[in-house]
Each structure stands twice: as C-alpha cells, then as structure tokens.
Amino acid sequence: MLRAMLRRIGPGRLAGVALLAVILVLRIADPPTVSGLRNAAFDVYQQVKPREPEQVPVTILDIDDPSIEEFGQWPWPRNRIAEMVSKTAAAGAVAIAFDIVFAEPDRLSPDEVARDNAALPEEVRARLRTLPDNDTLLARAMRQTRVVLGQTSVRSARSNRTDKVAMRAVPHAIMGADPTPFLPRFPDVVRNLDILEEAAAGRGVFSVRPDPDGIYRRLPMVMLVQDTLRLGLSPELLRVATGGNAFALRSNEAGIDGVVLGGKMIRTGPDGSVWPYLTPSLPGRYVSAGDVLAGRVAPGRLAGQLVLVGTSAIGLEDFRPTPLGVPMAGVEIHAQVLENILTDTLLTRPNYAVAAELMTVLVLSVLVIVLVPVMGARRIIALAVVLLGGYSGLSYYLFQEMRILLDPTWPVLGTVLTLMLMSSANYLREERQKQQIRGAFGQYVSPDLVARLQDNPEALTLGGERRELTVLFSDVRGFTTLAEGYRDDPPGLTTLMNSFLTVLSRAILREGGTIDKFMGDAVMAFWNAPLDAPDHAAAACRAALAMRADVATLNAARARAAAEVNEKALPINVGIGLNTGDCVVGNMGSDTRFDYTALGDAVNLASRLEGQSKTYGLGIILGSATARAVAGRFAMIDLDLLRVKGKMEPEQIFALLGDEAMRGTSGFTELEAANAEMRAAYSAQEWDVAEAALDRLEAAGKPLDLELSGYAALYRQRLETLRATPPGEGWNGVHVATDK
C-alpha cells in the first residue's frame, strides 16, 4: 500500500517536498549565502529610495584635508584640540562626541618635547617644562562642556595585561529578561588617557562590525565590554546631551526589544543593533575643523547642535562601504544613526519577519508541488509570476511606506527552485550521470579540471592564460639511498612510492590544489587554477605543512611495521619549495598530446627553492611573494637573501616552520627574535653577535620540536669563512647559490 501511494504521489513531488524541506532549513540556518542575498536586496531598496534629508541638530566637526593642510599633519597637538573643543562649546554646541581615541600621551606636549630633544638649550628645555601639559589642557577644556570620548573594541581577550582598568559603569536599568546572552561581547576596549576619561561626561564605543561581505549595515546600540553594559557612540552622545540620565534596556526571551534613551524608545534587533536608513553623503552635515579653529564658522551654525568629531581626510582612511554602494566616512554613519533616532526613521526588521518569509516559501512551493503535475507549464509560469511579483511588490511597499524590511529574495528563489525541480526531472537524472563520470575520472586528474572540462569542452585546445599562482615543488631527500634498500624488491619500492605519493596528493587536494605532474619521487602542484582560489598562498602553505606531517605519520607506521620483523625502515624526508607569482597556465604540448600545466619564472623559482631546502636543512622554503601573502598567519622566519642559480636578481627567502598555533607561542616568539637578531648582525658584519644569536636560536627550537642544527651549522660555516675573508664595505649580504 505504501509503495502504491508513493507511486501515485510520484518521484517528482517527493523530490519537491524534499527540496522544500531543504529550503526551509536553509532559511532557518541562514548561512552567509542566504543572508547575503537578503542584504543585497535591502541595499538595492536604499539605493533606489534613499532617505530624504531632514533638518536635525546633528553636525560633523570634520578634520578634513583642508584642515590638515592649514594646521599641520594629524595627529594635532592636544592643546589645539582643546582649543577646538572650547570654540565649539562657545559656539553653542550642546554636546561633543569624538570618533577618535586618545590612547597615548601627546608627544607634542612641552614636557615631552623637552625630554625628547636633548639638543635644545637647557634654558629652553627648562622653560618648556614649566608650560602646561597638552593633555591637561584638553581635559580642562572638556570639563567646561559635555564631551563624549570614543572607545574602540578589542575583539580578543587581553586578560594577561597588567594595566587593565575596570570599565566605568553607565547608569542603566533592565526591563524584562536577562539581555546579556544576546548582546555582542568585547573582552576589552582601547581606552583614552585616564585624565581625559575622568574629564569626559560620557564614553561610547564606536566600533561597528561589517556583515560578512564587508558592508556596514547595522550598528550596535548597546554591547558588553568586560561584562559591563556600554552604549555606542551615537546613543551615548544623545544620553549625555539629554542630561546624562540612565538608559533602559528592554528585553524578552527572544532577545533585545529596544533601548529607552532620553525618553525615546529605540527599537533594535535581538542583538541590540539597529538598521540605519541612509541618505547620500551631504556636505551640509560637515563643518571643517579648520574653520572652527580659524573662527570662520557662520554665527549660530553650531548652536544647539550635537557635534560628532571625526575625519573625512583621504589619508586617514576612515571610510566604510555602505548599502548605498559608495563608501562613507565612519563618523557620518554615526551621525546618520543619530539622525534616524531623532526623526524615527530607523529601518526595522520585525520579529515576525522570519516567520512570514518561511510561510510564504511554504505556501507558494506547496502550490507549485501540487499543481505542476496537473496544470500546463504556461499556466504554472503565469501563476508563479503573479504570486512572486505580488510578494516582491509587497516587500518594497513595506520598505517605502513603513520602513519595514521583509526579504524579497529567499521566498522568490525558493519557489523558483521548486518550480525548476518539478519541471526538470530528466535534467537532474542526466546531472547525476555526469556526477558519476566526474567522480570516476577525478581519480586520475584534478577533479576541478574535470568539472571545468565537462562544462567547457572547448577548453580542450592548446593555449594558456596569465594568472597569479602559488606553485609547490616537493622532492625526497636521499631517494637514491632509499631505493638501494629495495634493490632486491622493486615491487616493494613501487608500493612504497604509491603510498608516499598518495599521502602527498591527498594533502594537496584537501587544500584545493591542482596536481600538475609526478616526476619520479617529486611532485609539482599549483593553486588558483583552473578555478579561482582567493587565498591560494595560505592554502599552499597549509598543504605543505600537512604533507610534512602526513609523511611523518607514514614514516612512523613504516617504522612500527619494520620493528615487528626486526628490520629498520629508512625514513622518507621530503623537501618543499613554494613561490607565488604570475604564470601562464593552460594546455601545453602538441596538437595530439598536451597537459594542463603552468610555465613561468615563478615556477622555476619554486623548483630552485625546493632544492635549497636541503642546503638550509629546513623542510619548507618560501619565496618572498608567498611570505608576504601569508605574513602574520604562519610561523615562519627570514632565511637569507639568495641569488639562486640561473637568476640575476636576489630573492628574500623564508622557512615555513608551523601553523598559526605555533606562531602564537612564546617559544616561537623567542626563536623569531633570535633569528632576526642573527640575520641583522650577519648583514652588519657583526660575526660574534650573529654566532651568539645562533646559539639562542637552536635552544629556542628544541621545545618546539624544530630541528635547526643544519640551518645553524650553515651559518656558522659562513661566519667562519667571512671572519677569515671579510667581505668589506658595500657588501649587501647576498648569498649566491652554487647548486640547484
């Protein structure tokens, strides 16, 4: 009976129901792809109909390019900023907020100038010491008016800091459930100088998190910093301007409902953030800081204004991508949020929005699943156009008239996908066959290349394209000696090499690499072709580390197997070279036989670097371009300035020693410092200093299980030679490789 029922329903409807379930689950999970589509649609809404500007008492005091040109480069001395604060307050500003952090003492304070300039006459230095400190002057000016200092968040905990200061609590009340599980958390902030923090009337966090695509669409109204509730810069400015009273946080079991501030209820999302409704950047929002300092501001321009101090200067790079499709100064985004609050024009994403979107997908898709098998295709398409067009129109109407954000993308896309599935059963069956072919053929060549050739058969022609690749070469050290151990067992050597090359191949393919060729015991691979790999240098480094680790695991297994029969297994030691650069990649060869391969100077250099791994006694050697691309993410050290055989220009080469976890250890920090000291002393011809640093380098490597004796021995031998025959003045430290 069940089988008959399933047959009556049909495989198409069953597939449609399964797809609908996936669509609903995806919407609930809301991965970046789904949220990205939704956000892009909301961006289009704002681009089509940006907010109409209104007259509100919000002004940006702009440290712009003309101000910097007139009063000198940024940062300005704090006495000048104190003058700016005093003049702004005298012009009638209600309150002033800084989208700037004053974290360090002013280096231009008279006392600092006297201390740092020993060449000044003593009487001048003594006079300077009697002058007021610039930070004291700024604090004094701040006490004369309402000033909110900006703080910026630190995303990672710095609990080991000894100077960590408890956060000043902001008076607040909580209405409803505990809001802390829903709020964004920051373990710490970059604070201002204590003297300034004490003089300020308020402190607001101006950090703004972009969405995964880098667009700044939401701003937090409230957050947790060191487990203390803090307001963002704009709401803190409003709180101080309205008397500095407590704010209230209203929450429920679903999250944050809103913030009550200055007698106004500001609706927020469950995480305490708001969606600003933006206008294009308006020159009328700005007053030049230079005009304030020079007294050129029109009378009454700043009277009754809430002033945000920030910068639009190009060189200071405080611009953020916005939903309007053009970057905007970060301080103007904060100003627009303040305008939204004052004019009740924030966009809202109500709690029922997700439920409404899910119900729309469900109803429309069920109609498609039920009706497609019994209705003609034209009627179904017409019905879908009417229903989906009507829903999309409703979404835009809600935005335009009520500033409500209802997703127009996923309900439409989910319904269209269901419609396509119901009318494409034969296509899906053929696609499954293609997947089977792809899986089988992919065992022999790169699966990515197979997929590309399936979709583009015309690619099976001679020719290439210019692309930036990261190229990897690996080779076995002492392969001849290893092979001699199998002179009476050639099949055993074949089995061993197949196991070894399989280990290397898996590590490369796991990181999305393309295996170019096997050359006996050597392997060539590259990244960023045929498919794009934006972070290809890091992927290649991860693959190289995995190759070394997997070979070590293979060696351990061979050693255990040999020990069981009272034999010894000679370990396999693999050397790897990595380099990044422009190459020509494509099908190379004759018109009857060709391979997908890469050519270019970057390929040749990668091959040379692999050969240098033996010379330097280290497993993985990087070219300078690869090292720059992954700087700060892996444990690596500077090795040498080397002119490899066959090249005229020297190359800065590096050793890749470990991943990010190793890089974060204190042991590696000590090793890196010792190596840097050794390399600097070597370049400066300070041979004794370099040799002492080598001793510390070797000692630092032992706790990390790094074998650096070969590297150290190489430099000791060089030092001995250079002591005997000093290179003299003009030596640039370049070492010329004598072998490949």
pLDDT tens-digit profile of 257-308?
Answer: 889 988 889 999 888 899 999 999 999 999 999 999 999 999 999 999 999 9
CA distances in angstroms from 29 to 33, 252, 273, 275, listed in the order given: 11, 22, 20, 21
pLDDT digits (tens, 9 = 90+) for 563-576: 888 888 888 899 99
How far apart, in whole angstroms, are the C-alpha atoms of residue 370 and residue 364?
10
Note the pLDDT tens digit of each residue in 698-725.
999 998 888 899 999 999 999 999 998 9
CATH number for the 461-630 domain, one of 1.25.40.10, 3.30.70.1290, 3.30.70.1230, 3.40.50.620?
Answer: 3.30.70.1230
Mean pLDDT of 356-365: 87
- Cβ neighbourhood burial of 404 (10 Å; 0-12, 13-18, 19+): middle
pLDDT of residue 162: 41
Contact 426, 15 (CB under 8 A): no
The set of residues, in sequence order, having a beta carbon less than 8 Å from that of 468 and lying 6+ positions away, is 528, 536, 580, 581, 582, 583
Q: How far apart are CA 486 and CA 489, in angstroms?
A: 5
CB-neighbour burial class of residue 93 (10 A; exposed 0-12, middle 13-18, buried 19+): buried
C-alpha distances out from residue 338 to 235, 239, 535, Å = 7, 11, 38
SS3 state at 511: coil
DSSP state of 285: G
The pLDDT-based confidence of 154 (bands split at 50, 70, 90) is low
- Contacts for 458 with CB less than 8 Å, ≥ 6 apart: none
Residue 75: is the preceding peptide bond cis (ω within 30°)?
yes
Pairing status of strand 514-519 against strand 522-527: antiparallel
Q: What is the DSSP letter of 180?
A: G
What pLDDT is stored for residue 429 in this prediction? 42
Identity of the residue numbered 23: I
**Banded pLDDT at 160 (limits 50, 70, 90):** very low
d(CA 223, CA 231): 6
Q: What confidence score (pLDDT) does residue 252 get?
A: 85
pLDDT the model gives residue 474: 94
Domain ranges of the chain: 2-50+351-423, 60-343, 461-630, 642-740
Cα 506 to its chain centre, rounded Å, is: 27
The answer to whether 277 touches 51, Cβ cutoff 8 Å, is yes
Q: Return d(Cα 497, Cα 521) in angstroms, integer.
A: 7
Coil, strand or helix at 37: helix
Q: Indicate the helix (H) or strand (E) that contains 430.
A: helix 425-441
Averaged over 59-88, what is the pLDDT?
92
Q: Which two tokens stand for residue 304?
A: 């009754």
Distance separating alpha carbons of residues 378 and 11, to the nearest angstrom = 22
| 8-state DSSP, 283 | G
Q: Collapsing DSSP states into helix, strand and coil, what is residue 421?
A: helix
For residues 517 and 598, the answer to whether their CB atoms sit within 8 Å is: no
The amino acid that residue 379 corresponds to is R
> Alpha helices of 72-220 — where are they, by DSSP H?
78-90, 110-116, 122-130, 134-143, 194-199
pLDDT digits (tens, 9 = 90+) for 519-539: 888 899 999 988 788 899 999
Helical segments of 106-256, H only:
110-116, 122-130, 134-143, 194-199, 233-241
From the CA atom positions of the chain, what is the Rg in Å?
33
Tell me if residue 3 falls in helix, strand or coil.
helix
Would the pLDDT of 641 be above 90? yes
> Is residue 274 helix, strand or coil?
strand
Query: What is the rounded average pLDDT for all residues in the chain?
Result: 85
The backbone region for 665, taken as left when phi is positive above 0, alpha when psi lies in -120 to 50, beta otherwise, is beta
162-208 confidence digits (pLDDT tens): 455 667 778 888 898 888 888 888 888 888 999 999 999 999 998 88
